[in-house]
């Protein structure tokens, strides 16, 4: 327990000392916020953005974007690098349990997701005045499910990708595909059918639906939440199956 606490605190500090991951997880969503907000504002149009204002649509989408950046870029590169360089080996020789190693990453993921989402919310609110979430209770549930899902997804990628290089390559590719086609980029309504199909195959698409519905006051998206839960269980199972200390 003491090790878990210390490791979590050190991992937070390490995260802040690593500019690349800070840019991907905290800065990039803010840049999107101002680009998209500047272009589309928050006036509803019936044809795009599920019929709601662009900023109302994007607020929960950016929560999902932050979770996705953690799961595709930050975590896999971090874990694969730890294994490649012998950090995991060093941890294991000192009897660090797999639960304290992965548990600290899960806690750090939560903290980053919460801090990043609060930043997006405050700056978005000040500049573009989107509405507050209609159903905060269910939004929190969706937030927890989404963060756990992408954290497990990151554990899975970090477990199967053999090196930092591989993790960077695969992680970046998945990041950009999901970001553009998964619902955090252009409105899904303007994309071609093929792009929509690829978008629907990404976990981000469903995490965003799960987050958007309680935010916008729509009914809880049961299908989305089941798909997210399924991705979580599958990722966690595969991560447990393929996790190696060295």
Q: Is residue 165 near another protein by the rule CB under 8 A?
A: no
Q: Is residue 14 near another protein by the rule CB under 8 A?
A: yes
68 and 178 Cβ atoms separated by less than 8 Å: yes
Q: Quick one: 89 or 241, whose CB is closer to another protein?
A: 89
Which string of b and e fits 43-74 if b means at least 16 CB within 10 Å? eeeeebbbebbbbbbbbbbbbbbbbbbbbbbb
Q: Is residue 156 near another protein by the rule CB under 8 A?
A: no
Pick the stretch among 7-15, 139-147, 191-199, 200-208 that binds another protein (CB under 8 A): 7-15
Interface with another protein: number of residues (CB under 8 A): 22
Q: Is residue 162 near another protein by the rule CB under 8 A?
A: no
Q: Quick one: 74 or 178, whose CB is closer to another protein?
A: 74
For residue 181, count other CB atoms closer than 10 A to its CB. 23
Q: Quick one: 24 or 57, whose CB is closer to another protein?
A: 24
Q: Quick one: 8 or 225, whose CB is closer to another protein?
A: 8
Q: Shortest gap between Cβ of 12 and another protein (angstroms)? A: 11
Q: Shortest gap between Cβ of 89 and another protein (angstroms)? A: 5
- Between residue 64 and residue 123, which ones bind another protein under the rule CB under 8 A? 82, 85-87, 89-90, 92-97
Q: Quick one: 14 or 127, whose CB is closer to another protein?
A: 14
Q: Is residue 32 near another protein by the rule CB under 8 A?
A: no
Q: Is residue 243 near another protein by the rule CB under 8 A?
A: no
Q: Is residue 3 near another protein by the rule CB under 8 A?
A: yes
Q: Shortest gap between Cβ of 81 and another protein (angstroms)? A: 8
Q: Shortest gap between Cβ of 146 and another protein (angstroms)? A: 27
Q: Is residue 23 near another protein by the rule CB under 8 A?
A: no
- In 3D, which of 121, 153, 135, 114 has the Cα closest to residue 221? 135
> How far from the centroid of its chain's Cα atoms is residue 206's Cα?
12
Pick the stretch among 12-20, 44-52, 123-131, 230-238 that binds another protein (CB under 8 A): 12-20
| Contacting residues toward another protein, per CB under 8 A | 2-3, 5-7, 10, 13-14, 17-18, 82, 85-87, 89-90, 92-97
């Amino acid at each position: 327990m003491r090790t878990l606490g210390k490791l979590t605190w050190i991992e937070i500090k390490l995260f802040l000392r690593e500019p690349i991951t800070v840019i991907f997880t905290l800065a990039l969503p803010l840049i999107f916020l101002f680009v998209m907000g500047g272009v589309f504002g928050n006036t509803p149009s019936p044809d795009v953005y599920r019929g709601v204002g662009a900023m109302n649509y994007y607020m929960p989408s950016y929560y999902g974007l932050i979770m996705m950046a953690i799961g595709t870029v930050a975590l896999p590169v971090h874990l694969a690098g730890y294994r490649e360089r012998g950090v995991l080996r060093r941890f294991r020789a000192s009897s660090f349990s797999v639960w304290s190693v992965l548990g600290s990453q899960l806690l750090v993921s939560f903290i980053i997701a919460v801090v990043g989402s609060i930043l997006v919310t405050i700056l978005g609110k000040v500049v573009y005045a989107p509405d507050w979430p209609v159903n905060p209770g269910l939004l929190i549930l969706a937030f927890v499910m989404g963060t756990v899902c992408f954290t497990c997804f990151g554990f899975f990628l970090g477990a199967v990708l053999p090196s930092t290089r591989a993790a960077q390559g695969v992680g970046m590719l998945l990041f950009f595909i999901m970001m553009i086609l998964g619902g955090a980029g252009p409105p899904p309504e303007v994309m071609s059918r093929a792009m929509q199909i690829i978008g629907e195959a990404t976990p981000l698409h469903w995490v965003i639906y799960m987050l958007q519905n309680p935010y916008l006051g729509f009914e809880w998206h049961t299908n989305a939440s089941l798909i997210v839960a399924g991705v979580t269980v599958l990722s966690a199972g595969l991560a447990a199956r393929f996790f190696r200390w060295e």
